[in-house]
Structure 1
Amino acid sequence: MIDALNDDTPRAATPAADPPSPVSPLRPAAGPAAVPRDTLRDALGLYLELHAHPELSGAEVRTAGRLAARLEGDGASVTRGVGGHGVVGVLRNGAGPALMLRAELDALPVGERTGLAYASTVPGTMHACGHDLHLASAAGAFALLARERDSWSGTVLVVGQPAEETLEGAEAMLADGLYERFGVPDVVLAQHTAPMPAGILAHGRGPMMAASAALEVVVHGYGGHAGTPQLTVDPVVTAAATVMRLQTVVSRETAPSDQVVLTVGSLRAGRRGNVVPDSAELSVTVRAATDHALERALSAAERIVRAECAASGCPRDPDITLVSRAPALLPDPAVTASVRAAHEREFGPHRVVDWPGSMATEDFPRFAVGGVRTAYWMVGTASPSQWRAARSGGRPVPPNHSAEFAPDARTALPAGIAAMATAARQLFKETR
C-alpha cells in the first residue's frame, strides 16, 4: 500500500507532471515526528477500501464495521450501534483527561467522476466530502497513540459518527447516551478536508462554519386541466413566485455586515405539461455566520412562503417542516490556540494558515455541550499539479461535494494522521 502513495494509483494526475510534493509521502511535516510506515500502510488500506465502498447517511453498516475492526486491532474497547451505526472506541490509559477524536462515516449521493483506480464501486454514491480520509486519519492517529502509551495518561475515545451529511448523527449519538455511557470528554477534536494544498492545515479565529437549517415546504394548490387555468390554483406559479421572493431575504432583509445564504435547491411539481398539479414542493437551505442571523432569515423565509400562498388564494396553508438544524461552529479559542501552536511546531509555521470561515455547515458543534471544549481545523487535499494549475489561472481545484473531488492521498493522509495525533499529544501534555 505504501508504494501506491508514490505512483499514480491514488490520483488522476500523471506523476511526471507533478513538481516535488510539498510534504514527503512518509513524513507529513518538517517536524521531528514521522508517521511510521506500518501505521501509514494500515491507514491507507482503510482509506482506499472506504473510498471504493461508500455508504449513504443512515446506511453505514460496512463502513462502521471496518472502522470498528481497525480500532479493536489497535487495542480499543469498541461499541457499535450508538445513535444508529455509530462506533465508539475507548482506550483507557490511567488517570488524566479524556480526549475524543471524531470522524464521520457517511458518503454523499454523488456519482464519482475522478478516474481514480480505487473510485467508488457504488453507482451514484461517493465520498465527495472527505469523510473516508477523516476516518483513516483518526484511525491512524489512534494507532500512534496506542503504541506510545508510556508518553501520555488519560483516555482516548474515537467516535465514528453516522449521518453527518443530514446533520442528524451527532444529536442521535448524544441522545443514545454517548457521554453518559462512555464519559464526558474534556476536549473533542475534529478536522475536515478542504481544497487547499495537501499538507497544509488551517485554523480559524472565529466561526469556522455556518449555522444552518433545512426546510421542506409543500405548497397546496387546486389541480385541473391546463386549458382551464381559471378553475385551478396553480401551485407551480406560487412556488416560482416564492423562489423569487425568497431571494430578498438576503438582499433586502439581511444587514450587509451579516453573512447569510439562502438556497432553494429543489422544486418538484407535477408530471405532465397539460395538467395543473395539486401541490409543489420546495427544499430550502438557510445558512448564516451567527445563530441570530439564521433565526432572522428563517422567520423571514417562513413569512414569505405563507404570504405567497395567501396571495395566490391557496386552499390551505403551506406545510413547512424543519428537517435539520445545526449551530455555527465556534471552536474553543484557548484550545484552538494550543493546538495551532503544536501544529506550527510539528509542521512548520509556513504550513499552518488562517481559515477565513465558510458557509458550509456540519453538526460537530452539537458535541460542545455541558462545558465540553472543541478544536477543529482544516486539512488540505489538493495535489501539487492541481494547485499549480489553479494558481496559474487554470481549472479550480474540485471542491468538496464535487463529483471530481479527489484528495491527494500521498500527502493529505499522513498530514491528517499527524495533525490529529499532534493535537492529542499536546492536550494530554497540558492537562497532566
Structure 2
Amino acid sequence: MPRFIRARCLLAGAMTMALAAPALPAAAAPLDAAAARGAIDAQLDRIYPALDALYKDIHQHPEVGFQETRTAALLAARMRQIGFTVTEHVGQTGVVAVYRNGDGPVVMVRTELDGLPLEEKTGLPYASHYQQTIDGKLTPTDHACGHDSHMTWWVGTAQTLLAMKDKWHGTLVFIGQPAEEKIGGAKAMLADGLFTRFPKPDYAFAAHVTPDVAGHVVVKQGTVSSASDSVIVTFHGQGAHGSMPDKSIDPIVMGAHFVDDVQTVISRQKDPQKFGVITVGAFNAGFAPNIIPDTAVLKLTLRSYDADVRKLLLDGVDTTARAVATMAHADAPDVAHTEGTASVINDPALAARLAGVLQSALGDGHVALVPATMPGGTASEDYSEFVNAGVPQSVFFAVGGSDPAMLARLKSEGKPVPVNHSPFFAPQPEPAIRTGVETLVLAVLGVAGN
C-alpha cells in the first residue's frame, strides 16, 4: 500500500459508542437553533443544485497531497465569487479565504483538499476515473476518505453564513488544507505563516463524514482521534552467501527479532488501561534466496492518545532497535521519525454546548454527545496541528453519510459496511452535505451569533 494511505478518518467505532451517550445538555448560547436551522435549510434549497454539481466535479477529479492544483483553484474561485478575500498557495497548495463582518470572534472552518491513490470501485455514475503521477507512476485516485463531501459543505457553509450575515459578527477564516492524508499539510500552512499572515482564530471547527447513518452527528468531548507517528528503522548488517551465515551479520534476523521484541513495549511497558499500538507495516530486505543482504528496512506506524504513551512508544522503538543491533554485533541502526501528529482533542465545554445547539436544531435521535470518559477513535488527523498552534477552543464533528437501507441490508447479510479509505466507500451526497452545512453553520452561530 502506498505510504500515505492511512486510516485517518473517524470510523464506525466512534459512532457506535454514541448510542449509549448520556442526555444532552441544553444549549448555553443565546441562539434560536430551530429558527436558525429553518433559515439554513431555506438557503440550502436555493444553492444545493450548484453544490451537487461542485461535489460531483470534485469527486471525479481527486488530487493527492500537494498536487491539488485543480481542486485548490476551483475552491478559490468559488470563494471569491461568494465574497471572500482569497489567498492561494499557502503551504504549497493551500487556500485561505477571509471574510470580515464587524467586531467579534475570529472563527476558523477547515476542509481538506486531497484524495487517495486508490482506484474507485463504487460503480457510481460519477465515479472517479482520474489519474495522477505519484512516485513516477500513473496512479488512479479516489476521494475514498470523503474529502469531496467536506469541500462541498465547506463552500455551502461559507455561502450560507454570508446569506445570514445579519445573524452573526466577527471574522471568518476558511482554510482549504492540502495533504491531510500525508500528515503534512497543516504543518506546511502553519510554517507558511497561517496564523501570522491571517487572523488567528478564537474558535476552530471541522467535520468528517463517517459510515454512520446519514444525517446523524456525533460530538465527542475530549480526545477524538489518536496521535500518529511513522518510523523507519534500517538495520545495517554484513552480506554473505546464504550457505555461509557465520560470515554475515544478518539484518533479516535482526528485523525479525525487532518485530517480535518491540511488541513488549505494548505488553510489558505501557499501562494496559491506556491505548497504544505499534504496527510494522513493511519489512523490506534482500532480493535472492541464496544471498544474505546488507540491510533491512522496516516501516512502522504508532498510534496513541496521550503524550506520555506517545513518548513511550517512540522511545521503545528506538531502544529495541538499538538493543537488537547490539546483540547481533552490528552497527547502530538508523531510526527515523518521518512524520507525526498529535491527537485531536475537543474542548469539552464547547463540545457540550454545541451538541445542545445541534440537538435543538436537528431534533432527538440525530445528535449524540460522547463524553470524555469514553475513548476516541483510533484513526488520526493532522487538524490537531492547528489547535495545538494556539486555537483556544475547537470542536471536530463527525457527520454520518451512509444510506440507512444499505446499512440494514448489509447487517442482515452479515457483510461489513464500507468505511473511509475503502474503494467502495460512497456516502449519500445530499444528506451528508446538508447535515455538514447545518452542523458548521450552527457551530459558527453558536459562538459568533448576535
Any conservation in 2 of the 1:29–1:415 contact (CA below 8 Å)?
no
Q: 1:77 — aligned with what?
A: 85
Which residue of 2 is the match for residue 334 of structure 1?
349
Q: Choose the corresponding residue for 1:246, options 253, 262, 266.
A: 262
Q: Secondary structure at the match of 1:58?
A: coil
**TM-score, length-normalised on structure 1?**
0.89
Deviates most, 380-389 or 153-162: 380-389
Deviation per CA, 1:45-70, whole angstroms, max 9, x where unpaired? 22211121111112111111111111
Decide which of 336, 343, 359 is 2:378's aligned counterpart: 359
The alpha carbon displacement at 1:338 in A equals: 2.2
2:397 maps to 377
Tell me which residue corresponds to 1:347. Answer: 362
Please give the per-residue CA displacement for 1:226-282, whole angstroms capped at 9, x wherever unaligned.
232222222122112211222222222211110111111111222222322221111
CA deviations over 1:103-136 (Å, ceiling 9, x no partner): 1111122222222222222243211211111111
User: Which of 83, 88, 110 is the matching residue for 1:102?
Assistant: 110
Unpaired runs of at least 5, structure 2:
1-33, 132-138
Corresponding residue SS for 1:214: strand
Are 2:96 and 1:88 equivalent residues in the alignment?
A: yes
Taking only aligned residues, the RMSD between alpha carbons, in angstroms, comes to 1.9
CA contact (8 A) 1:42 1:140 kept: no
CA drift of 1:156 comes to: 1.0
Map 1:193-232 to 2 at 5 A: 193-232=209-248
In structure 1, what residue type is equivalent to 2:347? Answer: D
SS at match of 1:392: helix
Identity of aligned residues (%): 37
Confirm whether residue 266 of structure 1 aligns to residue 282 of structure 2: yes
Q: What is the Cα deviation at residue 320 of structure 1?
A: 0.8
Matches within 5 A, 1:369-408: 369-392=389-412, 394-408=414-428
Report the Cα distance in structure 1 between the residues aligned to 2:310 and 2:406, rounded to whole angstroms: 35
Equivalent-residue separation in structure 2 for 1:144 and 1:167 (angstroms):
30
Q: Which amino acid aligns with 1:417?
A: V
Shift of 1:29: 12
Bigger mean CA deviation after superposition, 82-91 or 262-271 = 262-271
Change (3 A) 1:200 1:152: same
1:167 paired residue number: 183
Contact 1:107–1:127 (CA<8 Å) still a contact in 2?
yes
Relative to the length of structure 2, the TM-score reads 0.85
**d(CA) in 1 for partners of 2:50, 2:96:** 19
* Partner SS, residue 302 of structure 2: strand
Closer, same or farther in 2 for the Cα pair 1:243/1:100, shift >3 Å?
same
Aligned counterpart in structure 2 of residue 294 of structure 1, from 300, 310, 315: 310
User: What is the CA–CA distance in structure 1 between the aligned matches of 2:52 and 2:265, rounded to whole Å?
Assistant: 45
Q: 2:293 aligns with which of 274, 277, 286?
A: 277
- Which stretch has the larger CA shift, 202-211 or 365-374? 365-374
Q: What SS does the aligned partner of 1:256 have?
A: coil
Note closer, same or farther for the CA distance 1:30–1:118 as it changes in structure 2 (3 Å cut): farther
Structure 1 unaligned blocks of 5 or more: 1-27
Q: Is the 8 A contact 1:110 1:126 kept in 2?
A: yes
Relative to structure 2, which stretch is displaced further, 247-256 or 130-139?
247-256
Which residue is equivalent to 2:435? 415
Q: 2:123 aligns with which of 115, 121, 143?
A: 115
CA drift at 1:354: 3.6
Amino acid at match of 1:208: V
- CA offset at residue 393 of structure 1? 5.5
Matched, 1:320 2:335: yes
Higher deviation after alignment, 366-375 or 356-365 = 366-375
2:173 paired residue number? 157
Which residue of the partner structure matches residue 52 of structure 1? Answer: 60
- Aligned residues of 1:211 and 1:328 also touching (Cα < 8 A): yes
Corresponding pairs, count: 402
